[in-house]
């Protein structure tokens, strides 16, 4: 599996260091509150796990499974709900957790949905931000790393459902997807 990666962009150590920084900001921001963390499946799973175990305040966890890439390399532009939250969001302080913001369509959709459902506040944390891909005005409140315009995989990010279990963020060899 590792031999299918051309280049490691962000190492496991760098990711772990960054999750500590982000977790301490989140701890401060939500101290004394009881936020609802919304993990966006499937990509956010490894990041959410590493991040939240370092947040030192009460936090509720729930998951939403949405998909717009259908395993491919380009967004279909249409966001599908595969699994909705089990929790009511009205009057809650939400922390949406994402692995990457690319076009921004997924988050745009979720933010609109949670506003409609009358969340009290919405905070977005993403491990990766790819500003070059943006098709909406959405931005995260907390960003781990900015990534260049390359197809990145690992640590939750897939290509055709593979590579999510890499402990780092890497760029695939072009022969894998061409
Ligand atoms: C990926 C990624 C983000 C979203 C970002 O999810 O995990 O959720 O796309 O792209 P966008 O900003 O262009 O919307 P995907 O739809 O591939 O589902 P997955 O998390 O199950 O892989
Ligand atoms: Mn996703
Ligand atoms: Mg995907």
CATH number for position 119: 3.40.50.2020
* 25 pLDDT more than 80: yes
pLDDT in tens, 129-165: 999 999 999 999 999 999 999 999 999 999 999 999 9
User: What is the rounded average pLDDT of the residues 82-89?
Assistant: 97
| 170, part of any domain | no
Q: Contact at 8 Å (CB) between 30 and 52?
A: no
Extract the tokens encoding 73: 């390399």
* 107 pLDDT more than 80: yes
Q: Which residues surround ligand 3, an ion (CB under 5 A)?
A: 69, 158
Extract the tokens encoding 125: 């944390």
Q: Ligand 1 centre and the CA of 159: distance in Å?
A: 11
Is the sign of the CA dihedral 142, 138, 103, 81 positive or negative? positive
Q: Contact at 8 Å (CB) between 107 and 138?
A: yes
User: What is the rounded average pLDDT of the residues 8-29?
Assistant: 98
| 126, part of any domain | yes
Return the residue matching tokens 């717009």: 68
Ligand with smallest separation from the Cα of 106:
1
Which pLDDT does position 73 carry in this prediction? 66
* 113 pLDDT more than 80: yes
Where in the sequence is the domain holding 113, given as residue range(s)?
Answer: 12-151
| 165, part of any domain | no
Which pLDDT does position 71 carry in this prediction? 61
User: What is the rounded average pLDDT of the residues 10-30?
Assistant: 98
pLDDT in tens, 66-77: 988 666 666 777
CA distance 84 to 165: 24
| 138, part of any domain | yes
Average pLDDT of the chain is 95
Q: What residues are labeled active site?
A: 102
* Closest CA relative to residue 37, chosen from 101, 118, 93: 93
| 27, part of any domain | yes
The percentage of the chain sitting over the pLDDT mark of 70, rounded to a whole number, equals 96
Instruction: Identify which of 42, 106, 110, 158 to mutate to test ligand 1's pocket (most ligand atoms within 8 A of the CB).
Output: 106
Angle between the 45-52 and 12-29 helix axes, to the nearest 10 degrees? Answer: 60
More confident residue, 79 or 115: 115
One-character DSSP codes across 122-174 = EEEEEEEE-GGG--SS---SEEEEE--SS-EEBTTB-BTTBSTT-SSEEEE-H
CA distance 110 to 64: 9
User: What is the rounded average pLDDT of the residues 35-42?
Assistant: 97
Three-state SS sequence of 79-92: CEEEECCCCCCCCC
- Cβ neighbors of 141 (< 8 A, separation 6 or more) are 123, 124, 125
| 175, part of any domain | no
| 69, part of any domain | yes
| 58, part of any domain | yes
- How many domains does the chain fold into? 1
- Output the pTM of the full model: 0.95
Which pLDDT does position 70 carry in this prediction? 67
* 109 pLDDT more than 90: yes
CA 110 to chain centre: 12
């Amino acid at each position: 599996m590792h031999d299918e990666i051309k280049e490691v962009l962000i190492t496991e150590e760098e990711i772990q260091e960054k999750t500590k920084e982000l977790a301490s900001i989140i701890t401060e921001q939500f101290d004394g509150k009881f936020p609802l963390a919304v993990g966006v499946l499937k990509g956010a799973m490894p990041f959410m796990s590493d991040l939240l175990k370092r947040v030192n305040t009460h936090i509720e966890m729930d998951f939403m499974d949405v998909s717009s890439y259908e395993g491919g390399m380009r967004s279909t532009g249409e966001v599908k709900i595969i699994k909705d939250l089990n929790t009511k969001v009205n009057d809650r302080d939400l922390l949406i957790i994402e692995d990457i913001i690319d076009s921004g369509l997924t988050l745009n959709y979720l933010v609109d949905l949670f506003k409609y459902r009358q969340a009290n506040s919405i905070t977005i944390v993403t491990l990766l931000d790819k500003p070059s891909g943006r098709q909406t005005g959405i931005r995260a409140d907390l960003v781990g790393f900015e990534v260049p315009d390359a197809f990145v995989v690992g640590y939750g990010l897939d290509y055709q459902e593979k590579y999510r279990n890499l402990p780092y963020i890497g760029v695939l060899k072009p022969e894998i997807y061409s």
